[in-house]
Every structure is written in C-alpha cells, then in structure tokens.
Structure 1
C-alpha cells in the first residue's frame, strides 16, 4: 500500500471530511469550474470502484430528475469528458483507469494511486488481527486509523448512493476507537483513552456511545468531577434541544460517577431541605442536578391529568458569538447569578446549577408569557449587577405539556 505524500507521481485521493484529489502538489479537484457533474460522476465510480456499472443505472442514480433518449450515448459522452479532464492533469493508467464493456463502466485504481479509505480498511484489519497477540502494534495501527478519519465520507454529497459507504467508514472509525480504548483499559493507560475519546468527539460529537466511552475513561482515570460535569452538560443539552431524557446506558454510567452511598446522601440532603419543619428557607428552592431531574418528573406526572404546562427555563453564561465564557470571571458571575435567581423567583420555584455556566429553572403554574417575563427580569438584573462586556446571559424557555 502506497502512503499518501510518497512519490512525486502519486495521485492522492482523500474522501474523509473533504474530497480532494492531489497530484504533484496541485489540488486538481479545485479546478472543477463547470465540471461539477464530471466530479460527481467520478466520485460515484470511485465509490463503486471495481464494479461494472450500467449506463442506465448510473444516470438514474446520479441524475434521476433528467430524462434521456439514449442513456448509453449520454454516459459515454460524460465519461469521455471525464477522461479528458483527468488526462489534462497528466494522469495516466498507473494512476487510475476507466474502462467500458457492453455498455457498462468500471473504475480501477492504479499502482500510483493512494486513497484514504483503502488505508483505513487495511489498518482496521491489521489492528484487529494483532490486538490479541501484539497489543502495542495494534494500538499504533488504531491510532493511525483514528488520525486518518477527518469526518464523513464525501460530506458534500447528499444523495442516497453515498450513505452505505459513509456509514461503513464511520462504523470502522468508531469501532476502532472502542477497540483502542479497550486495549488502553487492559494496559491501565486511562489518560490515553481519555485523549482518544476527546479527539474522536471533535469529529463525531453526537454519538452517545462515544460519550459513554469518554465518561468511562474519565472514571477509570479518577476524574469523577470532570465526568460529572461532562455528563450534566450533554444530558442537559439533549433535554433542552430534544426533550429526551438520559438513556439506560447513560443512567448506568451515572451510577458509576455517583456512588450509591453518595447518591443516597444527596437525596436525603435535598429531602431534608424541603421536609424539616421550622426550617426557614429564603428564596426559591435550590437543589442538586440529579434531584432537580427527579422533581421535574414528579411535577410532570402530577400534571398529566390536568394537561397543564410545565415551564423549564435555562440561563447560560457564554462569551460573545457563543464562545466559552472567560474562566477568570466565570466563577464570580455564576455566584452572582445564583443569588439573583434565588431572590427573584418564587419560593415554590426550583432551580439548579446544571454545570459551571448554566442554571435550570422549574417554574410550575405559569403561562409561557409570564415565564418569559420572569427570564427577562432575571436578565435585566444580571446586566445591572454584572457590567461585563465579556459575558452574555442567554435565556431559553420550554413549555412542556403534562
């Protein structure tokens, strides 16, 4: 297998994250001009390299909205233009060939062509074979594979014909991350496992299993505080964006983050804050995130029969353009915001600090209009008290029926 970048005459094809065809230090795919259809044809033939493809099927799959009287002649002309375009970049049969026989076309890569997905599959097979007998070599192969995957296969293509290949390469990437982390776990290389997941999440940020793998790495590395913060961040984001509660797998990993004894103490502590008679509580009720989730579920069940709205509000501190808030002023701003919330909402309302920069509010028995006024009042008080040009308080309200 030729390696990308080796040899002056090497044609390098990258398809993961962004399509580029590079030859002799020039990116020939950037010279598309009016050749978008030709490059789309090239990508389809490339995806199905080694296969004989009929003219009728190619045209129907690539351009289904167009009608052709003579599909063979049309595709023959397009293939001729494609070959001419490639030959103008001085590519020859040692790089790739497009052959035809009985109305079918086939693309094959030559000895002077390197393609990232071919190397991806080779590394995956190599690492899997070595994992039991030579774990160190398997780790190195998995690491190379993970660094090779830069994103979806041909992300600029939205047609169904690319979906199977795209899913297959994503599956190889994710399985490699999980396999590598398993090897790291056996070798007690927990911080390496954490770093691997962090890199993978930069490329695939919404894969739940990857977040679980990351949380497990943090737990194994003794970083339960970071694990708790990450768990609360992703579960609150999912809840606010989709209304989805944590899955069973997420709940199971949370049990490792919060030991059962610790969880029992947490619940009893919050219950005492509500139930002890004679205890004077000023302002709204503040609780820990896990108990907040329990109270929300309880309130939702109570209102199921009444079909009444439940208002869930979020107050998030960010920098401008949604950048992370400056860490040097975040702590003081969060403390001030907590005091503002406690003094400004009703005694029967509930709030929690979900993560270092976000609060959630449970506002029962309010209309959406009144709830919006509550958030506006909190925002106004925050702007008066925290006169910072580096912080923005972003407020959001969800109305969920029981």
Structure 2
C-alpha cells in the first residue's frame, strides 16, 4: 500500500465487486464491463503493484490472442493509451505507471489505498486477536463490510484473475463462518441476518451461508422465515444448477419442521393448521424428508392391514434418455409438478426426489389403476411445450413393508 498521508485526498481503488478509482470522494474512472485491454492492463498493474512486470509477462497477458508481429510494441501502445485515460480522467497529474526499459510497474510512491488490502488486513487482524472475541468480531465485521463482491467482476473469468477471485471469496466466506461461531457462543444471532443477506446477494447459491442464515432465523424464533429460506435455496439448487440439496441442508429442514411444530401449543390452532384451512384442492405435495417419514409410517401400518399401496417414480430425460439440459429442466419440472398435482386424488402424496424426478405414493390402488394414473400424468405433461424436448417416464412398484 502506498503512502497514507493526506487521507482526504487519497486515491481509493476498489476491486471487490467493482473496479473503480476514486479521488476526493468522486469516482474518476470505473470499469462498466467494456471489454478493453486497457482495463486489463490497469487491473493487472494494480493487483500486482508490489511487483515489477517483465518483458515477457505483459505481452503474454495482453497479446496472446493477437497476431501482432511485435508484442512488445503492442504493450507499449497499450501503456500509452492507459496513460492517456488516466490523464484525461480528472485524477491528479501524476506518473501512475513506472517504466524502466521493458519493465513496468504501478507507482507505489503515490498516496493510495486498495480495498483488497484493507479487506485482507481486517481479516488477518481478526485471526491474530482470536484470544479477544470482541475485537475479533469487530475485525470480521469490518472485513465483511469492505467486501462488496467478487474480485474484478468483469475479469473474474480471466485466467490471471481466477486465483485471486477464489482467494478473496474464500476469506469472505471464512469471515462469515468464523463470525457466526463467535456470535453463537454469545447467543447473539441478529447481527448475522444482515451479514448473510449481503453474502447471498453476492452468491445466491452458497449453502454454507444459507445454513447459517436458517440457523439464525430459527434461533430467533423466525421459523416460517427459516422455512421460506430453505425453500428458496433448494429451488435454486434444483432449477438453476440441477443439483440436489446436501444432506446437511435436508437435515436442517427436519429441525425447522420439528421446531415449528413444537412451539404451537393451542390445540384449535393445530387442528386448523392440519386441516390446511379448507384449501386442499389437489394431492398433497411435501418436502422429501416429510415424504420419507409418511412412507415409513404407512409401511408399518401396511404390515397389519395388508393395504395395497404403490410408489411411482416420474423421471424427466432428453430424447437420448439423459438428464435434460438446465436450459429446459426448470420449466419441465414445473410443468410435471402441476401435471402430477392435478392428476392425482386428494389422498395421494408426492414429493420432489431429485433435480429431474418426483416420487408419488398411491394408497388403496391396484397395479392396473396405478398404470392408468401414470398415463394420465404423462398425457397431462405432454400439453406443455417443453415436452417436445424433455420426455417423461414413470415406473411403478408396490410398497414393500418387509423391512419394517
């Protein structure tokens, strides 16, 4: 980090969540996503401001996809253009880029601060003062407040930036986990809610953060919000990434349900809740953990009564029998869910089993009638446009109570 005198007039460089140079509280230069090698050069110089960049390194970075017969000259031209951009930006007239022969570097004699260094400094201080939980909490909160998003977001997938992107985001996630562990010991959960919301705005698929968020909501007695958060992350994982929720997340769901039910002590309220408020218009859809509990309960009863109960698995594939493309899967699963719900009886039960499957329980039915149900679901599903590229299959098996 450069000289830190005259704080008010410092150059502030932001690389987490945005790439911008500010001076005297005003944004002078900001990368708005334009694909431009001048921006790549500026970002690389600042990210490596403690190094001198040699004659081979910059040409390989900036000219690898060019057909230029003279990469060194091409780099000189880019440096000249970058100097023009800096000069025309309204920043103080300084020599921002130091050049010695074919060696280039950022001028470390300038007065400037970089958010990446402020971030890592706060994180490292939090680790150093771990013997003092209050100070550690303070530094973790500071680190989290500095982190506004992925490193150089418009260059996040450039080969040279990938390691830095991964590194800073890992520190950010570790800050959240460590902060939670400290606040959990104090049974102080409210501060974590805004922290988790910020983290999920940055990465909406981070299961670690969702688990912390759900635990905090539950500890604060916000059980319905916790359940809603669980449903959001599982839907995102299913529909947008095509993956199943982890065992840890599913286990957390069971804890939410147990807690949600245990706090209700009014019998009239419980009966109203169990009766679905008179809104039961189609079959019952539930989370898979609940489906398993009901399955096991009914299987024990079948041992005594000998009832005929069948389990159906409805699966979506492409024309080749493979898992469908994510491009079509979410729409296809939504269509299949609707088709199943409207094709079953009110007493039937179904659940999402995987990113491309639903499992159905059909009580008091024969195999032949079960096949008719499967055909009915299939015909209903075919009314969806996406059925032309995503095909539905079903299998039917009797419930086997022997293991219970």
TM range, smaller chain:
0.5 to 0.7
Matched residue, 1:300: 313
Matched residue, 2:364: none
Matched residue, 1:107: 106
Matched residue, 1:15: 15
Matched residue, 1:244: 243
Are the structure 2 counterparts of residues 77 and 251 from structure 1 closer, same or farther at C-alpha, using a change threshold of 3 Å?
same
Secondary structure of 2:99's partner?
A: strand
Q: What residue ranges of structure 1 are gaps of 5+ in the alignment?
A: 264-281, 317-336, 355-359, 377-396
Deviations 1:25-68 (A, max 9, x none): 44221599x99432321111112221232233322223321033
Secondary structure of 2:78's partner?
A: helix
Matched residue, 2:363: none
Deviations 1:127-175 (A, max 9, x none): 1112322x22221221122121111111112421111111111111111
Matched residue, 1:329: none
Bigger mean CA deviation after superposition, 36-45 or 290-299: 290-299
Choose the corresponding residue for 2:283, options 282, 285, 291. Answer: 285
Deviations 1:317-350 (A, max 9, x none): xxxxxxxxxxxxxxxxxxxx9xx997x5342895
Choose the corresponding residue for 1:347, options 345, 348, 353. Answer: 345
Matched residue, 1:273: none
Q: What residue ranges of structure 2 are gaps of 5+ in the alignment?
A: 263-279, 296-309, 324-328, 353-357, 361-372, 395-404
Matched residue, 1:225: 224
Matched residue, 1:74: 74
- Tell me the distance in 1 between the aligned counterparts of 2:347 and 2:334: 11
- Do the aligned residues in 1 keep the contact of 2:28 with 2:91 (CA within 8 Å)? no
- Do the aligned residues in 2 keep the contact of 1:5 with 1:12 (CA within 8 Å)? no
Deviations 1:2-41 (A, max 9, x none): 9999744311111111111122344221599x99432321
Measure how far apart 1:400 and its partner are. 5.2
Are the structure 2 counterparts of residues 3 and 103 from structure 1 closer, same or farther at C-alpha, using a change threshold of 3 Å?
closer
Secondary structure of 1:55's partner?
A: coil
Secondary structure of 1:106's partner?
A: strand
- Tell me the distance in 1 between the aligned counterparts of 2:286 and 2:5: 54
Choose the corresponding residue for 2:153, options 134, 152, 155. Answer: 155
Are the structure 2 counterparts of residues 35 and 113 from structure 1 closer, same or farther at C-alpha, using a change threshold of 3 Å?
farther
Secondary structure of 1:226's partner?
A: helix
- Do the aligned residues in 1 keep the contact of 2:284 with 2:346 (CA within 8 Å)? no
Are the structure 2 counterparts of residues 128 and 138 from structure 1 closer, same or farther at C-alpha, using a change threshold of 3 Å?
same
Aligned Cα RMSD in Å?
Answer: 4.5
Deviations 1:159-200 (A, max 9, x none): 211111111111111111111111110111022223321222
- Tell me the distance in 2 between the aligned counterparts of 1:308 and 1:177: 38
- Tell me the distance in 2 between the aligned counterparts of 1:122 and 1:214: 26
- Tell me the distance in 1 between the aligned counterparts of 2:290 and 2:335: 13
- Tell me the distance in 1 between the aligned counterparts of 2:100 and 2:78: 16
- Tell me the distance in 2 between the aligned counterparts of 1:261 and 1:7: 52
- Tell me the distance in 2 between the aligned counterparts of 1:366 and 1:213: 42
- Tell me the distance in 2 between the aligned counterparts of 1:292 and 1:258: 9
Measure how far apart 1:399 and its partner are. 4.8
Matched residue, 1:333: none
- Do the aligned residues in 1 keep the contact of 2:3 with 2:110 (CA within 8 Å)? no
Matched residue, 2:38: 38
Q: How many residues align?
A: 329
Matched residue, 2:143: 145
| TM-score between the two structures when normalised by the length of structure 1 | 0.67
- Tell me the distance in 2 between the aligned counterparts of 1:166 and 1:83: 26
Are the structure 2 counterparts of residues 300 and 8 from structure 1 closer, same or farther at C-alpha, using a change threshold of 3 Å?
same
Bigger mean CA deviation after superposition, 2-11 or 212-221: 2-11
Matched residue, 1:365: 375
Secondary structure of 1:109's partner?
A: coil
- Tell me the distance in 2 between the aligned counterparts of 1:223 and 1:261: 9
- Tell me the distance in 2 between the aligned counterparts of 1:5 and 1:351: 69
Secondary structure of 2:72's partner?
A: helix
Secondary structure of 2:13's partner?
A: strand
- Tell me the distance in 2 between the aligned counterparts of 1:303 and 1:12: 52
Secondary structure of 1:347's partner?
A: coil
Measure how far apart 1:298 and its partner are. 5.2
